[in-house]
C-alpha cells in the first residue's frame, strides 16, 4: 500500500515538472515577440510626439501668416482711405462706370447728352480741382498738427532719465524726419543714453547738457547743432556732419568714434577727446582751443587752419595728418608720435614737444624761444623758422 502511494507521488511530481518545463518553453517562445511589440509601441509614441510638435509648429506658422495677411490688408485699406486724394480717386473709379452703364440708353438723345456733358464739366471742376485743393489743404493741416504734437511730446519727456523717455524721444524724432521736419529740435537735458539715431537729420538742434553716452549718430546730420556740455562718451559719430557745430563748454567725447566725421568750422573749446578715434575726420578751420586729445588716434585727419592753442596732444598717435597753417601756440605735445605728418606754416610758439617723435614736415612753420623741442632735434634743419622776441 505504501509503495503504491509513493509511486503516485512520484508520478505527480514528474507531471508537475513536465508541466513547468512546457510552460517555460512556451514563455520563452513568446518573450522575443513581447520585446518587439514593446519597442514598436515606444517608437510609435516617439513618432506621435514628433507629429504633435510638427502640427503645433505648422499651426503657429499658419496663424502667423494669416495674421500677417490680415494686417497687410488692413494696412492697405487704411492707407487707401487715410489720404483724401486716394479716396476721391477710388470713388470716381467706382461711381463713373456705374453712372455710364445705367444711363447708356439715354445717350442717343442729343439734348440729354448735351446736358450731361455740361454737368460733367462742372462736376469735374468741382470734384477734381476743388476736391484736390481741399484734400491738399487738409493734408497740410494734418501734417502741421502732427509736427506740433510730436514736438510737444519730445518736450514732455525732456529731463526724464528713463528708458521709456529715450524711446519716446527717438520715435518722435524719426516721425518728424519722415514728415520733412529736419532742423531746430529742442533737446536740452534729453536722456538719450545708447539711443540709435543713425542717419537722423538734426541740423541746428539744441543738445545742451544732454546725456548722449554711447549714442549712435552714425551718418547723422548735426550741422550748426549746439552740443555744449553734452556727455558723449563712447558715442558713435562715424561719417556724421557737424559743420559749424558748437561742442564747447566741457563736451565729453572720451573714447568716441569720430571716424570720417566733418567738424569744419566747428567750435570745440575745452572739449574732451581723450583716446578718441579720429581717423579721416575733418577739422578744417575748427576751433579746438584747450581741447584734450591725449592718446587720441589722429590718422589721416585734416586740421588745416585749425585753432589748437593750448590743446593737449600728450601721447597721441598722429599719422599722415595735415596741420598746415594750424595754430599750436602753447600746445602740449609731450610724448606725441608724429609720422608722415604735415606741419607746414603752423604756428608753434610755446609748444612743448618734449619726448615726441617728430616724423613731420615743418617747412615754413614758425616757433619762438619758448618752444620746447625733443632732445637732439634741430627745428631749423627741419625747415622751421625762429621768430625772435622783439
Domain holding 40, by residue range, is 2-82
pLDDT per residue as tens digits for the range 76-103 = 766 655 566 566 666 667 766 776 666 6
d(CA 225, CA 247): 8
Same-domain check for residues 75 and 19: yes
pTM (two decimals)? 0.67
Last residue of a domain, one of 82, 104, 128: 82
pLDDT per residue as tens digits for the range 115-170 = 666 666 666 666 666 666 666 666 666 788 888 889 999 999 998 899 999 999 99
Same-domain check for residues 90 and 53: no
Task: Specify the number of domains making up the chain.
Answer: 2
The verdict on residue 318 lying in a domain is no
d(CA 182, CA 283): 24
Cell of 148: 506740433
d(CA 178, CA 171): 11
Same-domain check for residues 22 and 9: yes
The partner residues of 327 in beta bridges, in order of sequence, read 307, 347
The packing angle between helices 131-157 and 163-178, to 10°, is 150
pLDDT per residue as tens digits for the range 5-16 = 567 767 767 776
Same-domain check for residues 136 and 111: yes
**Residue 292: what pLDDT?**
96
What are the residues whose beta carbons fall under 8 Å from the beta carbon of 175, sequence distance 6 or more?
146, 150
The verdict on residue 309 lying in a domain is no
Last residue of a domain, one of 105, 125, 147: 147
The verdict on residue 221 lying in a domain is no
**Residue 88: what pLDDT?**
64
Same-domain check for residues 78 and 8: yes
The verdict on residue 109 lying in a domain is yes
Which portions of the chain are predicted below pLDDT 70?
1-6, 9, 12, 16-37, 77-92, 95-96, 99-141, 389-390
- CB–CB of 258/241 below 8 Å? no
The verdict on residue 90 lying in a domain is yes
Amino acid at each position: 500500500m505504501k509503495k503504491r502511494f509513493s509511486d503516485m507521488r512520484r508520478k505527480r511530481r514528474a507531471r508537475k515538472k513536465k508541466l513547468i518545463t512546457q510552460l517555460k518553453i512556451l514563455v520563452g517562445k513568446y518573450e522575443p515577440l513581447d520585446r518587439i511589440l514593446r519597442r514598436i509601441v515606444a517608437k510609435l509614441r516617439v513618432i506621435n510626439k514628433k507629429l504633435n510638435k510638427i502640427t503645433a509648429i505648422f499651426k503657429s506658422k499658419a496663424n502667423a501668416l494669416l495674421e500677417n495677411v490680415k494686417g497687410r490688408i488692413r494696412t492697405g485699406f487704411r492707407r487707401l482711405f487715410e489720404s483724401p486724394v486716394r479716396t476721391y480717386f477710388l470713388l470716381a473709379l467706382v461711381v463713373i462706370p456705374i453712372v455710364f452703364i445705367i444711363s447708356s440708353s439715354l445717350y442717343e438723345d442729343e439734348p440729354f447728352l448735351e446736358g450731361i456733358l455740361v454737368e460733367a464739366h462742372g462736376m469735374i471742376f468741382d470734384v477734381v480741382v476743388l476736391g484736390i485743393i481741399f484734400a491738399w489743404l487738409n493734408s497740410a493741416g494734418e501734417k502741421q498738427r502732427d509736427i506740433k504734437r510730436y514736438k510737444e511730446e519730445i518736450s514732455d519727456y525732456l529731463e526724464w532719465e528713463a528708458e521709456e523717455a529715450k524711446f519716446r524721444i527717438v520715435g518722435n524724432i524719426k516721425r518728424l524726419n519722415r514728415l520733412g521736419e529736419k532742423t531746430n529740435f529742442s533737446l536740452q537735458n534729453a536722456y538719450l543714453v545708447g539711443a540709435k539715431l543713425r542717419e537722423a537729420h538734426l541740423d541746428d538742434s539744441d543738445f545742451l547738457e544732454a546725456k548722449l553716452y554711447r549714442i549712435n549718430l552714425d551718418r547723422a546730420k548735426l550741422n550748426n547743432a549746439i552740443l555744449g556740455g553734452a556727455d558723449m562718451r563712447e558715442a558713435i559719430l562715424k561719417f556724421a556732419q557737424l559743420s559749424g557745430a558748437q561742442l564747447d563748454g566741457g563736451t565729453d567725447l572720451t573714447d568716441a568714434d569720430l571716424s570720417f566725421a566733418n567738424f569744419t568750422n566747428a567750435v570745440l573749446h575745452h572739449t574732451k577727446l581723450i583716446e578718441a578715434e579720429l581717423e579721416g575726420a575733418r577739422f578744417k578751420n575748427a576751433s579746438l582751443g584747450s581741447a584734450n586729445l591725449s592718446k587720441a588716434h589722429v590718422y589721416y585727419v585734416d586740421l588745416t587752419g585749425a585753432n589748437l592753442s593750448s590743446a593737449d596732444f600728450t601721447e597721441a598717435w598722429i599719422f599722415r595728418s595735415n596741420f598746415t597753417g594750424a595754430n599750436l601756440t602753447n600746445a602740449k605735445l609731450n610724448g606725441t608720435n608724429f609720422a608722415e605728418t604735415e606741419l607746414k606754416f603752423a604756428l608753434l610758439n610755446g609748444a612743448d614737444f618734449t619726448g615726441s617723435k617728430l616724423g613731420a614736415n615743418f617747412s615754413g612753420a614758425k616757433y619762438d624761444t619758448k618752444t620746447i623741442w625733443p632732445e637732439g632735434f634741430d627745428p631749423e634743419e627741419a625747415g622751421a623758422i625762429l621768430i625772435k622776441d622783439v
